[in-house]
Structure formats: C-alpha cells, structure tokens
Amino acid sequence: MKKVVLSTLNAKYIHTNLAIRCLKAYIEPEFEAELAEYTIKDPILNIAADLFSKKPDIIGFSCYIWNIEETIKVIQVLRKILPDAKIILGGPEVTYDVPYWLDRLKGDVDFIVLGEGEETFKQLLEEIHGEKDWSRVHGIAYLDNNEKPVIKPQQNKIDLRDVPSPFRFEEDLPQLSKRVTYIETSRGCPFRCQFCLSSIEVGVRYFDREKVKDDIRFLMKNGAKTIKFVDRTFNISRSYAMEMFQFLIDEHLPGTVFQFEITADIMRPEVIEFLNREAPSGLFRFEIGVQSTNDETNDLVMRKQNYKKLTRTVTMVKDGGKIDQHLDLIAGLPEEDYLSFRKTFNDVFEMRPEELQLGFLKMLRGTGLRIRANDHQYTYMDHSPYEILGNNVLSFDDIVRIKQVEDVLEKYWNDHRMDRTVEHLVTNCFESPFDFFQQFGSYWEERGWSRIGHQLEDLFKRLHEFLSSQDRHEMHIIEGLMKLDYLSNQRYKPRKPWWEHEMTKEERSGIYQDLLQSPHIAGNDFTKLNLSEKEIYKHTLLETIVSKEGRNEYVLAYFEPSNGQSTLFFFEKEYISN
C-alpha cells in the first residue's frame, strides 16, 4: 500500500484544515492517510524536509488564495527530493482556470482535483494503485503523454448525509482546545454574488443533522472551545437554524463559542428575540457580510440585500447584548468610488458592531466579476490574492487611503482598547467616523508607524500626538477619556502610564489618607472593599481627569489582585461622591 500524506499550509497555527480531514475520513479504511499541517510563515525548506521524512508516495495539497504561492514553492522542492512521488492539488484556488495551472505547474504536479474532492480523490487513489486508467476518474485534470491538458468534469455530487465524520482522528484530540475547529452542516449557497466562489455552485445540500449534533457533542467533550461553522449562509433555512440554535443552547459546555456566517436581512425578528431571551451571553458570534450599502453596486454584483432589514437585525442583536457581531465591508466593488465607500463605512459604523472588517476586493478565479473585469476597467495583482489595484471609479491612490483607514480601525476599534475615546471622537470631534479613521490613518502612515511594532502605551501616545497636532480645544476632555480607557484595560497596576502624572507624591498621599479615613468619598462600592493602607498603595492608581461635562474629578483605579480586573471609582475634587 502506497504512503499517502494530506497536507496544507494554514494562514495561522490556530487554524485547522477541514478539507484534508474530509478526504482522510472518506478514503478510509481502503486507504490510510497521514495529515501534515503547516503555516504560510514556516520556512519552505523546513516544510519540505518534514514531508520528505514521512517518505510519502502520494502527497495531496489543499490550495487557497492565501497559501498557493507558498505551496508551489514547497512542491518545487519536493519534486527534486521526491521525484517519484505523485503530487496532487485540490481546493478552490486550483479548481478554476485549470489550463493555466496545468501549464504553470508542468512537471511539478501530476493531478488537479476539481471541486468537491472526496469521491474523486478516492477514485484517483484506486487507479494509482490499480490499472492507472485516468479516464475512469471524473473531476480531475492532468497533462497527457503529449503534454496536452485533459480536464474531466465531475459528474454527480456526493450524498452528504452518508459521508463519514472528519472529527474522530486520535491525533487531533490533544489540539482541540488550542485551535479553531471548522465544521460544515451544508454545502453551496443560494445567492449569486459575483465576487464570491460560492455563487458558482447551484443549490444548497445538507449533512445529516443528527450526525452533525453527534460530532459537536464529541468535539465539546474532547475540549474544543471555538467551533466555527463554514456554511455560506447558516440561516438560509429558518427551521434548520432554529433547531441548531436550540441544540447548542441546550447542550453547550461552558467556555465554548460557536461562530456562524449569517445573512442578516433574511433573519426574522422572532428568531433574534428567541436568541436574546434564551442564548447565554458569549455563546454565539455572528459574521455578517454587508460589503456595500450602495444599491447600484449591489445590483451590479447580483447581490440582493435589504439594508433596512439588515440594520434591524444587527440592531436587535446588539440591543440583546448576548452576541458579538463581526461585519464585513469590501472596498473596490463596481461603481463604488471613494465617497460612496465613505458613505458605506459610515452607514455600517453607525450600528457600532463589535468588529468591523474592512477588506479589499479580490478578483478570484472563476468568479463572474473576474470574467467581466474589463467592464469596469479593473486592474489587479497577477498572483494571489489577486487584490485590485484600481478600476474606472477608484484609483490606486484612493485604495492606499482606504488602507490607511483599515490599519487604525483594527487597532483602535476592533481591539476595543479605547471605546470611550473613539466614541467621543467620532461623535463630537470629526465630521464622520470615516473621517476620523482616515485622518488618523494618514497621519499614522506619514509618521512611519505602520512599519514598527506597538505596545499598548504607544497606541495611546500616538493617538494623543495626532489629536494634539490638530490643536483641539477639548483635549483635556479627550485626555480624561483616554486615561479611563487605559486604566480599564489594565489587569495589573501599571508601573508607568503613558501620561505624565499631574499630582505630586505628597498630594496623592494626602488623598489616600483622606480615603482611608472616609472611604465613602469614593462611593459605597469602594467602601465595601475595606482596603488597608498597604492595599490601597499597592493595588490602586489615583489620577485627575476632566469629565465630559467639564468637571474636575479624581479617578481611582483598583486592580483586583485575585482576578486581574480593574474597577474605576470617581469623586470630585471637593470630595463629593458621585
């Protein structure tokens, strides 16, 4: 029996590849396969050396836009050190523009598996071990003896209700608690968005519900903490989604988080009301693709979206306070110029999602938008990730400016280091949220900060420098909010805060003595702590701020030594408790 290794290069160590596990489960017990996962950051020679050590006869690689170029480098080394091994590629990146891949990888790759790979890969292994009649295998591409491309389309899709579980491998169990587990309950998408590969496969097929539930029970029992559903639209069937939500609510284990891709404008209010009422806080996380709020743009990419209903869903979920939401935007869609994207950004930021992901259009092989790229004069990168460089309404200069927004958005909104400060800035100090992130992002780039690392204190100092450069009259209020954000995000008493202390040691000591004598000055909750003199000096930090109302106040931050949490107490300079 020939040695089979199934491999991939993940974007990060915490990720796991579902595809190679589905293949391994499907070909067993007739064939055995060893899994070998790496990351795109691993040295190419290290990957090749590790694969070489496994002495494989057949190596299969799962290929995506984020790993194809690194995978090709690995393959080119393997071909020299394992000249007799069969090298097989599969995955969405090599399923389309197949003649291009056969020509580019001539001599390095033996076969490409097209689309859904389980049945095809098993048939191919049978022929490799048998009569080597490639004409019997549907869903593969290769070069014949005359180096002419042979492309054999798939015939029938497999019945997902009968496929074996990809989650029962002993070697995976020790890592479940440390990595993201991906699970699918359906394949296909009902929508036809022309920038997305999912639009190519017609219809939605489901796995067996009870098998899926058993898999989830097994994963939780064995320590899985983050389980991400890769279904393109988890809630396309309301009854199915409700059944799964109820199951997860009833049987989840503490500390487990489930993530879903949700189409928000088709979600009924009663479903959200159910989740707001029944779901434990933090159990679910929703990823919602908004992409654009420009109706013309959505029409051009065949994206049906009722933004009013989407807003209703996001708002109801946020008001429920149980579920974090990650909303996606795509810059560079047809007829969305810089000002239109600014409006899209502001429209979506108005809902204050916990995370707002700003992405850039990628011209994926096989998508309608790439096929008709000339209609909008797109220019884009020749190799993955095929990111756009411009079109008829969006220049490369515009794209660079939007990328500056992306950089500071990630650090200052999505990481929630300065929620009070950012909320004040986008509401009271700048014309719109986009304008704050844009101006700050441009300043950030001009200062060269995008090319260096940042400690938490650095992020506060850099925002303070940017705002100070604008000669803002309300800086004393902004500084107060920044101090509160900084103290709220500390687990332990900071040795050296980012600002210069305004009080002398004598002034601080005098206030501490007053607090020890009259703790009610800082309120009843502070009084209940019953801190000793040693504890108040060791575990608290006292600072002055100016409140949003313009009052001079003291803030006392207490850092709980047992749980690493901070609590803020406020009192006015006249020692009048709030």
Per-residue pLDDT reduced to its tens digit, 207-237: 999 999 999 999 999 999 999 999 999 999 9
288: pLDDT strictly greater than 50: yes
508: pLDDT strictly greater than 50: yes
Q: What percent of the chain has pLDDT over 90?
A: 89
* Rounded (5°) CA angle 108-109-115: 150
Model pLDDT, residue 458: 94
Residue 275 · residue 325 · CB < 8 Å: no
Per-residue pLDDT reduced to its tens digit, 359-377: 999 999 999 999 999 999 9
Average pLDDT of the residues in 145-155: 94
Average pLDDT of the residues in 57-77: 98
Model pLDDT, residue 104: 97
Fill in the DSSP letter of residue 362. Answer: B
Q: What are the structural domains of the chain?
A: 4-152 (3.40.50.280), 160-393 (3.80.30.20), 395-401+411-472 (no CATH), 489-572 (no CATH)
Give CA–CA dist 35/19, Å, rounded. 11
Mean pLDDT of the chain: 95
Q: What percent of the chain has pLDDT over 70?
A: 99
Give me the half-sphere count of Cα atoms (radius 13 Å) on the Cβ side of residue 478.
23
- Using CA atoms, how far residue 545 sits from 334, 502, 573, in Å, is 48, 10, 10
Q: Identify which has the larger pLDDT, 575 or 272.
A: 272
Sign of CA pseudo-dihedral 335, 341, 346, 352: positive
Average pLDDT of the residues in 122-126: 97
Average pLDDT of the residues in 388-408: 97
Per-residue pLDDT reduced to its tens digit, 309-318: 999 999 999 9
Model pLDDT, residue 138: 96
For the range 521-527, what are the long-range contacts, defined as Cβ-Cβ under 8 Å and sequence gap of 24 or more? 521/571, 521/575, 521/577, 522/556, 522/569, 522/570, 522/571, 522/577, 523/569, 523/570, 523/571, 523/577, 523/578, 525/567, 525/569, 526/556, 526/558, 526/569
Q: How would you classify residue 203: left for phi > 0, otherwise alpha for psi between -120 and 50, otherwise beta?
A: left
Average pLDDT of the residues in 68-96: 97
Model pLDDT, residue 516: 94
Model pLDDT, residue 314: 98
Average pLDDT of the residues in 134-150: 96
Give CA–CA dist 287/327, Å, rounded. 6
Average pLDDT of the residues in 326-338: 98
Give CA–CA dist 329/437, Å, rounded. 15
542: pLDDT strictly greater than 60: yes
Model pLDDT, residue 574: 66
Give CA–CA dist 295/78, Å, rounded. 49
Average pLDDT of the residues in 261-277: 96
578: pLDDT strictly greater than 50: no
DSSP per residue, 497-556: -SS---S-HHHHHHHHHHHHH-GGGG-HHHHHH---HHHHHHHEEEEEEE-TTS-EEEEE
Give CA–CA dist 437/402, Å, rounded. 9
**pTM check: above 0.75:** yes
Q: Report which of 108, 112, 121, 114 is spatially closest to residue 82, judged by C-alpha positions.
A: 108
